[in-house]
Amino acid sequence: MEELLKVLGEIRPDVDFAGETALIDDQILDSFDMIAIVSAFDEHYGVTVKPADLVPENFNSAEAMLAMINRLKK
């Protein structure tokens, strides 16, 4: 989780990724942020986020993002 928080913090240092649970629902992240995050996941974790994975449930919190990363690594 620590590594993920660092990666996310490089993209949006103004967001409390450790505490937020509605990043998409509360419109804290926009489409440009999502592009940067998906690209970072590919670069840092070697996972490809498919269009079907681009749902709020996978991006509303750092925990949800980590769960998706772990699922995509398999």
The distance of Cα 41 from the centroid of its chain, to the nearest Å, equals: 8
Look at the chain and report how many structural domains it folds into.
1
What CATH code is carried by the domain that includes residue 43? 1.10.1200.10
List pLDDT tens digits, range 52-65.
Answer: 999 999 999 999 99
Distance CA 56, CA 24 (A): 6
What does the pLDDT read at residue 65? 98
Structure tokens at 14: 């103004």
What pLDDT band is residue 74 in, cutting at 50, 70 and 90?
confident
Q: Look up the domain containing 32 and give its range.
A: 2-73
Distance CA 71, CA 50 (A): 12
Stretch 14-27: mean pLDDT = 98
Residue percentage of the chain with pLDDT more than 90? 99
List pLDDT tens digits, range 35-48.
Answer: 999 999 999 999 99
**For residue 17, pLDDT beyond 90:** yes
